[in-house]
Amino acid sequence: MQEAELEAATVADYTIREFVDFPGARYEPLDGEAEIAPGIRVVLTPHTPGHQSVVIETDSGPLVIAGQALETVDELHEGGEVAGLLLSLEPTRILFSHDDRVWQTPAARAV
């Protein structure tokens, strides 16, 4: 978890406290992009302080789990800084937290 997000999560009314502070919760604070396992890295995607998205290297190319960086595929098509950042990762697919549609390149659709 990004340190900035962890710090923000301790502020009253930022989030539901039990989602962050529960028995057995353990966090490894990060500061910026990091490889968290072979072929899996987190990148900063501004939505909240320290918001991060996960990039997974697959045989068909990078898969991005965008979380709430953008809420829907439509927002990706609207452009903007975050959309540009996500597309600069050259993903074959992007998953969003609030949209069950998956953005994918034409080549990925053919698979």
The gap from C-alpha 12 to its chain's centroid, in whole angstroms, comes to: 24
- Topology of the domain comprising 31-109: Metallo-beta-lactamase; Chain A (3.60.15)
Q: Are strands 40-44 and 52-58 parallel, antiparallel or unpaired?
A: antiparallel
Does residue 111 carry a pLDDT above 70?
no
Q: CA-to-CA distance for 111 and 106, rounded, in angstroms?
A: 9
23-42 tens-digit pLDDT: 999 999 999 999 999 999 99
In this prediction, residue 19 carries a pLDDT of 87
pTM for the predicted model, two decimal places: 0.86
Q: What is the mean pLDDT of the chain?
A: 91
pLDDT tens-place string over residues 41-100? 999 998 788 899 999 999 999 999 999 999 899 999 999 999 999 999 999 999 999 999
- The per-residue pLDDT for range 39-53, each reduced to its tens digit, is 999 999 987 888 999
Up-side HSE of residue 38: CA atoms within 13 Å toward CB? 0
